[in-house]
């Protein structure tokens, strides 16, 4: 608590200085949300969440690990199913027609591999990873004055082409937490449109701050999008071995 | 956590005094969730001014448009996205940096095809992320940028050709150079204040060699002039230090616009199209020695037509003898310019051409009617169908449900289309109601079958009966055969608020018809300045005569009837007059001297007059000075019938002004349309803010608020029709503000009307993935509230409850600072479905609630806020109350039955789970297995336990049969079919049979199992079975 109080004072002082570099904003974000050293202690994360869709509460579960493994599952009509699982090298996802796991396409797996070092936050040691931050013109989102940061996390593949892996972060000037994240959709019929992730309900877990409500929507036009509410976040949890056992899926 | 919030709370800004609370909000806070809705259409699209490809990726194509911004395709032109919404929408040129083509893109704003209706630019922009974000890099006063050249070895070295101001002198013209990536610019080549650089091309083999054409040109509201002694073609071979005229072989005398093209495959071959004094030496010139000598090849129509509008030559990248020329139809030569052939069929007026970098048979053409793509080098062309860049001059609406929108477009006729349509507003929903250039279109106020439309200069004014398809020309003729009626290009046509069959039309006089255009009478003298110096259009055009009617001047441009007093008429003219009549046109008072030369320069075009909706003596006039080279915004207001006027814009408003609208209910809520977007005032024009919620910075030529729906409908000149649906929340905010102190709470609910469910059902639209489909308005119920601060920390939830306090559904609340609108689709939670192997699709149906009053509960931190939302059935419905009652009872019974079944299956699974640990016990077969077998046997009849969700599906079981019928009945708001009810009886029987079977298993096999466990494992404690309430708790 003491730590957070201090960081808030730091951030209050910072209001006086108008020009903030991108690097300072990122540092303040990490500091305000718990401190880099504490973030670095996180080796895994399990999120129990729920999505409200078409009058149904759909429980979902996301696991992610420092070594790049990820696992997600959901429960629909009482049935729990793995949605996607990636062990750092290989990945599978559910085909909803057959309810069988199928191997993720090579390009997506390659992109997952490239994101391996981004847990728990891609901002930690971003320079060492060769990532860059750039401060763009300040912007107002959600009615709030924000710093807008262009974050380039190296390159990713898009339809066979190497492209910059760019995400735009809007940090609330008052408290340095990101409240909106944007990316340009690269593939499919929505290519070129901007997808927006709106974050709120920040709360503390073991001294670190996480958004507990995440709304995904298109930036342009109407529609409320889809909100995921986090019910519980657990840090440094152990995975069950069976979660990453692909032998069942490999049986054709 | 508390500490953090506490400190932040202390630091939050204190709220300004109650009276000006709303005026102090940003427009983003004020409008919050209210977003603009784009309905296009794209079927006629609009003018594309420039095409630019990527130097190594053939699939990346950018287009610059005349008024609709910049669009990017990453798939060779199948789909385009708008990437320049926040900035000026009039584009001169787009250029990709060859050194970093995936990232760096430049846009020079300001169209260079200088027709009367062209917009203006506001500088040069750069993106370093492929178009996602843009930064203005100066040249703010350039108005029109014709080209950008980037050193292929050094991104910091850039040359920009500035054509410059169209409507007046300007020193910001010529060639500019930057050596620091656009941070600073040096004007390296300038001719004079009337002559700009219309084209700049570079030798791909030698970056220091460039060709620049200069054009002496000027437009006024009443004339156009192309050509002079300063027009010339220059060449530099030292990177712009020295420039030499290269006219050896060019015509003598004055020159006009010169277009230049270079053969990329042989950069010594240069083509130029030259506008000159004599018809015989106009047209195409060719040089085979880098411009040292020129030979005249061709003066065909295609090479000489309207140089101000068409002057681009593009040479095939692989074949120097293949040249294309923009023009009325576009032309191609395959013999080095000796002969030309017209391109294939497409919309007229071609402005630019692009050859695919790898395969020059794949080509793109920019026209007044959008972008075309050809796979056989211009022989046949297909139009890109997702570019809603249509250029409306005007819009009007009717009172149908859904209401229809009428409007005319630049070079694209007149149209009527719906504001909503099943599955979205498609191309096929629009109907053509006028030819030529389209302008003002009106429905008859009481007869929805009658539409009035017009073409340029009121050459035709039509009355069209949509039902009988009878089309009559109804334009007025002069009373004296020698008299000339002067109609503006965009002639002032209007229907009346007070007389359904009345029409007004403005020439220099005000014409009135009271029989739908059959007879006309003149009810005014000449209301213009009638300045003879401004009526010499026959000689307009300069070196190429151009008397299209576009320069007609000294005409009436806007007509306004007072909604309060039918005798009160206002007229505004293009030459700056405002005249008012209080006796229906018997006498007129010229009130021009009361504002002209005081609040705005003399003769500033009166673009729009709006008679106030609340006070008889009050009127608002929007003046547009851009044709006098004046880009300032003017909104002036009188409250005494024009005796005195005051200016009602502040420094926030950017761009010259064209349109205005006052809210239907609150006189202080105002909308002002400028060349660069929409501005809003909530204090009667004392201060303004820019509305940017999905609203591009586009020129708004006309706007009107729908009288019943309270939607603001905007006719934009480049992005089609844009609607802001239902502005009542803004009025409500004003009412709350007027009460004083009302925003003291962190959250304030706004009143909402009763929402009527839309019970229409349909099979959606017919458009394909590559066609633009306009968005529909939402017909959901809305929960509207104002948050004083953005909710970022701690929990915030929203629930809907019925009058008994039962949970109906949960929703994600909006958390913005400012206005939040959360939509509810009238559905309750779906029933909890029995667990099976596959999904039960009928079980995904969430039934609609009954009409009634529902409670909204928002929990924010520890505080709880409640409000109500009232929902009703449609006002006009084919269903009776007893139909609805039966449907509701049936759905409720089935809902409960489905959940009963879910609970039954849960219980079966519970017992089966209990049995599992005993599988190897010696008494398993005797004491446990019978239960397992019986339960599985029963379960098999209840839910699917095999197969998949597609063609491997198993035969439906009771669960699937139940929910299939449930979905069918819940999906239709009326009386369930007799066969459906019969089917339900069967399901009910099966359902009670299932429970009976389960009861029997409980009594026999389960009891035996319990006996077995209590005897063998007396200390064993089993997980308790959930009660039904517990089971249903979390759904």
CB A151 within 8 A of CB A168: yes
**What per-residue confidence (pLDDT) applies to A223?**
67
Structural domain ending residue among the three candidates B245, B262, B287: B245
Of A8, A77, A172, the CB nearest to B833: A77
CATH number, domain with residue B868: 2.60.40.1930
Three-class SS state of B701: strand
Mean pLDDT of all residues in B623-636:
98
CB B144 within 8 A of CB B110: yes
A192·B74 Cβ contact <8 A: yes
A192 chain-B contacts, CB cut-off 8 A: 72-74, 79-81, 83
Q: Residue B84: inside a domain, yes or no?
A: yes
Confidence class for position B955, pLDDT limits 50, 70, 90: confident
Domain shared by B865 and B898, yes or no: no
**What per-residue confidence (pLDDT) applies to B764?**
85
B11·A136 Cβ contact <8 A: no
CATH number, domain with residue B209: 2.130.10.10
**What per-residue confidence (pLDDT) applies to A96?**
87
In tens, the pLDDT along B431-480 reads: 999 999 999 999 999 999 999 999 999 999 999 999 999 999 999 999 89
Give dist(CA B68, CA B70) in Å, integer: 7
Q: Which helix (H) or strand (E) holds B250?
A: none
B796·A56 Cβ contact <8 A: no
DSSP B428: G
- pLDDT higher than threshold 60 for residue B728: yes
Separation in Å, CA of A58 to nearest CA in chain B: 8
CB B121 within 8 A of CB B112: no
Domain shared by B939 and B820, yes or no: no
In tens, the pLDDT along B528-553 reads: 999 999 999 999 999 999 988 999 99
A78·B902 Cβ contact <8 A: yes
Which of A:190-249 have CB within 8 Å of B?
Answer: 191-194, 198, 200-204, 212-213, 215, 220-222, 224, 227, 229
A179·B792 Cβ contact <8 A: yes
Confidence class for position B696, pLDDT limits 50, 70, 90: very high
Number of Cβ pairs < 8 A linking chain A and chain B: 173
In tens, the pLDDT along A120-151 reads: 999 999 999 999 999 999 999 999 999 999 99
Q: Residue B78: inside a domain, yes or no?
A: yes
Of B812, B823, B838, the CB nearest to A215: B812
Q: Residue B588: inside a domain, yes or no?
A: no
**What per-residue confidence (pLDDT) applies to B1020?**
87
Structural domain ending residue among the three candidates B872, B899, B926: B872
Domain shared by B68 and B135, yes or no: yes
Confidence class for position A11, pLDDT limits 50, 70, 90: very low
Which residue in this structure is represented by tokens 């002032």? B492
In tens, the pLDDT along B580-605 reads: 999 999 999 999 999 999 999 999 99
Average pLDDT, chain B: 95
**What per-residue confidence (pLDDT) applies to B650?**
94
Give dist(CA B483, CA B473) in Å, integer: 20
Both tokens of B421, joined, read 């349509």
Segment among A102-111, B416-425, B937-946 with least mean pLDDT? B937-946
In tens, the pLDDT along B87-125 reads: 999 999 999 999 999 999 999 999 999 999 999 999 999
Domain shared by B897 and B1000, yes or no: yes
Q: Which helix (H) or strand (E) holds A5?
A: helix A2-16
Separation in Å, CA of A64 to nearest CA in chain B: 23
Of A4, A12, A227, the CB nearest to B3: A4
Is A188 an 8 Å CB contact of chain B? no
Domain shared by B895 and B1029, yes or no: yes
**What per-residue confidence (pLDDT) applies to A3?**
39
- pLDDT higher than threshold 90 for residue B974: yes
Give dist(CA B620, CA B112) in Å, integer: 33
**What per-residue confidence (pLDDT) applies to B20?**
80
Residue to mutate among A142, A156, A159, A180, with most B CBs inside 10 A, is: A142
Q: Residue B370: inside a domain, yes or no?
A: no
Confidence class for position A19, pLDDT limits 50, 70, 90: low
In tens, the pLDDT along A212-224 reads: 999 999 987 656 7
The share of chain B scoring above pLDDT 90, in percent, equals: 93
Q: Residue B171: inside a domain, yes or no?
A: yes
- ipTM score for this prediction: 0.91
Confidence class for position B945, pLDDT limits 50, 70, 90: confident
Centre a 10 Å sphere on the Cβ of residue B467 and count the other Cβ atoms it contains: 9
A52·B1034 Cβ contact <8 A: no
A203 chain-B contacts, CB cut-off 8 A: 1, 793-795
Kindly identify which residue of chain A lies nearest to residue B832, measuring between CA atoms: A77
B778 chain-A contacts, CB cut-off 8 A: 222
The share of chain A scoring above pLDDT 90, in percent, equals: 74
Give dist(CA B815, CA B790) in Å, integer: 6
**What per-residue confidence (pLDDT) applies to B793?**
97
Confidence class for position A190, pLDDT limits 50, 70, 90: confident
Domain shared by B146 and B226, yes or no: yes
CB B813 within 8 A of CB B863: no
A140 chain-B contacts, CB cut-off 8 A: 26, 28
**What per-residue confidence (pLDDT) applies to B2?**
37
CB B721 within 8 A of CB B405: yes
Residues A126, A130, A135, A141: what is their CA dihedral angle, to the nearest 10 degrees? -60
Domain shared by B783 and B922, yes or no: no
B74·A191 Cβ contact <8 A: yes
Centre a 10 Å sphere on the Cβ of residue A189 and count the other Cβ atoms it contains: 11
Of A192, A212, A222, the CB nearest to B72: A192
**What per-residue confidence (pLDDT) applies to B124?**
98
Give the number of domains in chain B. 3
A215 chain-B contacts, CB cut-off 8 A: 812
- The three state secondary structure string of B753-783 is CCEECCCCCCCCCCCCCCCCCECCCCCCEEE
Confidence class for position A73, pLDDT limits 50, 70, 90: very high
**What per-residue confidence (pLDDT) applies to B804?**
94
| Strand ranges in B707-862 using DSSP code E only, listed in sequence order | 712-716, 721-724, 747-749, 755-756, 781-787, 796-801, 807-811, 818-824, 852-860
Centre a 10 Å sphere on the Cβ of residue B770 and count the other Cβ atoms it contains: 15
Give dist(CA B708, CA B706) in Å, integer: 6
Of A15, A203, A224, the CB nearest to B812: A224
DSSP conformation letters of B478-501: -SSTT------TT-EEEE-SS-TT
Residue B495, CA atoms < 13 Å, CB-side half-sphere: 24
Give dist(CA B277, CA B34) in Å, integer: 56
- pLDDT higher than threshold 60 for residue B316: yes
Could you tell me which residues are beta bridge partners of residue A252? none
Host domain of residue B106: 63-245
A175 chain-B contacts, CB cut-off 8 A: 4, 8, 792-793
Mean pLDDT of all residues in B752-774:
93
B834 chain-A contacts, CB cut-off 8 A: 77-78
B26 chain-A contacts, CB cut-off 8 A: 140, 143
Q: Residue B198: inside a domain, yes or no?
A: yes
B812·A189 Cβ contact <8 A: no
Domain shared by B99 and B142, yes or no: yes
B28·A143 Cβ contact <8 A: yes
Rg (CA), chain B: 35
For residues A9 and B331, the model is more confident at B331
Q: Residue B367: inside a domain, yes or no?
A: no
In tens, the pLDDT along B156-190 reads: 999 999 999 999 999 999 999 999 999 999 999 99
In tens, the pLDDT along B207-244 reads: 999 999 999 999 999 999 999 999 999 999 999 999 99
Residue to mutate among B793, B842, B846, B1034, with most A CBs inside 10 A, is: B793
Residues in chain A: 252
CB B819 within 8 A of CB B784: yes
Alpha helices, H only, B456-566: none
**What per-residue confidence (pLDDT) applies to B837?**
85
Chain centroid to CA B691: 13
B906 chain-A contacts, CB cut-off 8 A: 78
**What per-residue confidence (pLDDT) applies to A252?**
54
Domain shared by B154 and B71, yes or no: yes
Give dist(CA B556, CA B553) in Å, integer: 9
Alpha helices, H only, B406-516: none
- pLDDT higher than threshold 80 for residue B950: no
Domain shared by B861 and B949, yes or no: no
Mean pLDDT of all residues in B680-703:
97
Domain shared by B95 and B173, yes or no: yes
Q: Residue B119: inside a domain, yes or no?
A: yes
Kindly identify which residue of chain B lies nearest to residue A98, measuring between CA atoms: B948
Domains of chain A: 2-250 (2.50.20)
Mean pLDDT of all residues in B926-932:
95
Give dist(CA B10, CA B390) in Å, integer: 50
Segment among A161-175, B362-376, B981-995, B1021-1035 with least mean pLDDT? B1021-1035
- pLDDT higher than threshold 70 for residue B12: no
Is A102 an 8 Å CB contact of chain B? no
Mean pLDDT of all residues in B309-325:
97
Domain shared by B81 and B140, yes or no: yes
Structural domain ending residue among the three candidates B809, B839, B872: B872
């Amino acid at each position: 608590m003491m730590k957070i109080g201090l960081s808030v004072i730091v951030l209050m002082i910072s209001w006086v200085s108008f020009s903030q570099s991108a690097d300072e904003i990122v540092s303040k974000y990490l500091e305000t949300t718990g401190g880099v050293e504490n973030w670095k202690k996180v080796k895994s994360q399990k999120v129990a969440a729920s999505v409200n869709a078409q009058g149904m509460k759909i429980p979902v579960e996301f696991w992610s690990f420092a070594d790049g493994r990820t696992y997600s599952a959901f429960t629909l009509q009482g049935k729990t199913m793995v949605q996607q699982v990636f062990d750092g090298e290989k990945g599978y996802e559910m085909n909803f027609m057959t309810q069988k796991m199928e191997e993720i396409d090579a390009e997506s797996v390659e992109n997952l591999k490239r994101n391996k070092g981004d847990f728990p936050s891609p901002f930690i040691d971003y320079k060492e990873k060769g990532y860059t931050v750039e401060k763009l013109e300040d912007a107002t989102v959600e009615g709030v004055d924000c710093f807008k940061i262009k974050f380039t996390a190296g390159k990713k593949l898009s339809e066979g082409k190497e492209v910059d892996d760019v995400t735009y972060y809007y940090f609330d000037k008052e408290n340095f937490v990101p409240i909106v994240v944007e990316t340009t959709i690269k593939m499919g019929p929505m290519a070129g449109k901007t997808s927006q992730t709106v974050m709120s309900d920040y709360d503390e877990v073991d001294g670190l701050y996480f958004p507990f409500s995440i709304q995904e929507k298109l930036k342009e036009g109407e529609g409320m999008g889809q909100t995921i509410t986090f019910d519980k976040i657990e840090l440094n949890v152990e995975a069950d071995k069976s979660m990453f056992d692909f032998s069942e899926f490999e049986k054709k | 956590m508390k500490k953090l919030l506490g400190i932040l709370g202390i630091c939050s800004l204190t709220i300004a005094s109650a009276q000006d609370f709303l005026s102090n909000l940003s427009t983003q806070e004020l409008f919050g969730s209210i977003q603009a809705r784009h309905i296009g259409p794209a079927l006629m699209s609009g003018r594309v001014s420039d095409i630019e490809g990527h130097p190594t990726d053939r699939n990346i194509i950018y287009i610059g448009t005349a008024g609709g911004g910049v669009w990017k395709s990453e798939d060779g032109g199948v789909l385009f996205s708008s990437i320049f919404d926040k900035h000026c929408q009039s584009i001169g040129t787009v250029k990709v940096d060859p050194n970093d083509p995936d990232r760096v893109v430049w846009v020079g704003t300001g169209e260079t095809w200088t027709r009367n209706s062209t917009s203006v630019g506001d500088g040069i922009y750069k993106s370093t992320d492929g178009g996602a974000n843009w930064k203005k890099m100066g040249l703010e006063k350039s108005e029109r940028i014709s080209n950008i050249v980037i050193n292929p070895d050094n991104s910091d070295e850039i040359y920009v050709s500035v054509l410059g101001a169209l409507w007046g002198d300007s020193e910001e013209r010529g060639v500019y150079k930057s050596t620091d990536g656009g941070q600073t610019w040096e004007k390296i080549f300038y001719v004079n204040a009337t002559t700009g650089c219309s084209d700049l091309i570079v030798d791909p083999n030698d970056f220091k060699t460039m060709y620049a054409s200069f054009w002496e040109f000027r437009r006024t509201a009443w004339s156009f002039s192309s050509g002079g002694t300063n027009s010339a073609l220059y060449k530099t071979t030292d990177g712009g230090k020295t420039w030499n005229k290269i006219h050896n072989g060019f015509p003598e005398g004055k020159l006009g616009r010169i277009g230049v093209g270079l053969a990329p495959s042989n950069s010594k071959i240069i083509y130029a199209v030259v506008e000159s004094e004599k018809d015989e030496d106009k047209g195409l010139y060719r040089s085979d020695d880098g411009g040292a000598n020129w030979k005249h090849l061709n003066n065909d129509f295609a090479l000489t037509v309207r140089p101000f509008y068409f002057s681009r030559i593009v040479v095939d990248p692989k074949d120097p003898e293949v040249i294309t020329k923009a023009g009325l139809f576009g032309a191609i030569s395959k013999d080095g310019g000796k002969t030309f052939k017209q391109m294939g069929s497409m919309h007229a007026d071609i402005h630019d051409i692009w050859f695919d970098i790898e395969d020059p048979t794949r080509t793109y053409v920019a026209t007044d009617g959008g972008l075309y793509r050809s796979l056989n080098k211009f022989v046949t062309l297909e139009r890109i169908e997702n570019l809603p860049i249509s250029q409306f001059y005007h819009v009007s609406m009717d009172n149908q449900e859904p209401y229809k929108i009428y409007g005319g477009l630049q070079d694209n006729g007149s149209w009527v289309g719906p504001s909503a349509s099943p599955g979205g507003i498609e191309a096929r929903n629009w109907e053509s109601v006028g030819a030529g250039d389209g302008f003002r279109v009106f429905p008859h106020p009481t007869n929805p079958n009658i539409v009035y439309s017009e073409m340029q200069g009121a050459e035709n004014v039509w009355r069209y009966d949509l039902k009988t398809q009878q089309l009559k020309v109804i334009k007025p003729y002069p009373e004296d055969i020698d008299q000339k009626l002067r109609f503006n290009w965009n002639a002032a046509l209007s229907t009346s608020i007070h007389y359904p069959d009345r029409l007004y039309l403005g020439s220099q006089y005000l014409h009135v018809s009271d029989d739908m255009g059959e007879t006309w009478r003149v009810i005014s003298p000449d209301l213009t300045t009638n300045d003879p110096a401004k009526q010499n259009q026959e000689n307009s055009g300069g070196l190429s005569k151009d008397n299209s009617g576009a320069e007609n001047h000294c005409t009436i441009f806007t007509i306004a009837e007072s909604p309060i007093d039918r005798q009160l008429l206002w007229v505004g003219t293009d030459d700056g007059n405002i005249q008012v009549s209080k006796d229906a046109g018997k006498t007129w008072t010229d009130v021009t001297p009361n504002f002209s030369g005081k609040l705005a320069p003399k003769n500033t075009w009166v673009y729009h007059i709006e008679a106030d909706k609340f006070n008889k003596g009050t009127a608002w006039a929007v003046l547009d000075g851009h044709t006098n080279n004046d880009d300032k915004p003017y909104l002036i207001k009188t409250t005494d019938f024009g005796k005195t006027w005051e200016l009602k814009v502040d420094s926030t408003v950017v761009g010259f002004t064209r349109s205005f609208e006052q809210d239907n209910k609150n006189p202080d809520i105002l909308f002002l349309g400028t060349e660069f977007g929409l501005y809003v005032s909530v204090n009667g024009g004392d201060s303004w803010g820019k509305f940017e919620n999905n609203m591009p910075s586009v020129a708004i030529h006309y706007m009107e608020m729908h009288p019943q729906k309270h939607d603001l409908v905007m006719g934009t000149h480049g992005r089609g029709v844009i609607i802001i649906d239902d502005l009542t929340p803004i009025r409500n905010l004003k009412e709350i503000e007027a009460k004083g102190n009302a925003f003291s709470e962190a959250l304030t609910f706004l009143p909402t009307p009763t929402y009527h469910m839309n019970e229409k059902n349909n099979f959606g639209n017919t458009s394909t993935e590559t066609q633009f489909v306009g968005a529909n308005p939402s017909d959901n119920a809305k929960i509207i509230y104002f948050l004083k601060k953005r909710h970022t920390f701690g929990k915030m939830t929203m629930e809907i409850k019925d009058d008994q306090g039962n949970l109906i559904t949960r929703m994600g609340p909006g958390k913005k600072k400012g206005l939040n609108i959360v939509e509810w689709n009238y559905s309750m939670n779906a029933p909890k479905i029995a667990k099976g192997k596959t999904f039960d699709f009928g079980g995904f149906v969430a039934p609609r609630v009954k009409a009634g009053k529902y409670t909204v509960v928002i929990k924010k931190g520890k505080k709880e806020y409640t409000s109500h939302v009232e929902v009703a059935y449609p006002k006009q419905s084919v269903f009776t109350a007893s139909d609805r009652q039966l449907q509701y009872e049936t759905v409720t019974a089935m809902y409960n039955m489905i959940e009963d079944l879910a609970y039954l299956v849960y219980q079966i699974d519970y017992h089966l789970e209990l049995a599992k640990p005993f599988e190897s016990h010696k008494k398993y077969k005797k004491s446990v297995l019978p239960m397992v077998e019986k339960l599985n046997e029963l379960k098999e009849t209840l839910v699917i336990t095999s197969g998949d969700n597609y063609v491997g599906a198993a035969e439906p079981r009771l669960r699937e049969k139940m929910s299939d019928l449930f979905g069918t009945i819940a999906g239709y708001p009326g009386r369930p079919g007799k066969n459906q009810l019969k089917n339900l009886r069967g399901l009910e029987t099966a359902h009670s049979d299932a429970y009976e079977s389960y009861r029997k298993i409980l009594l026999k096999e389960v009891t035996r199992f319990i006996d077995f466990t209590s005897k063998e494992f007396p200390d064993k404690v089993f997980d308790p079975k959930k009660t039904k309430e517990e089971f249903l708790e979390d759904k």
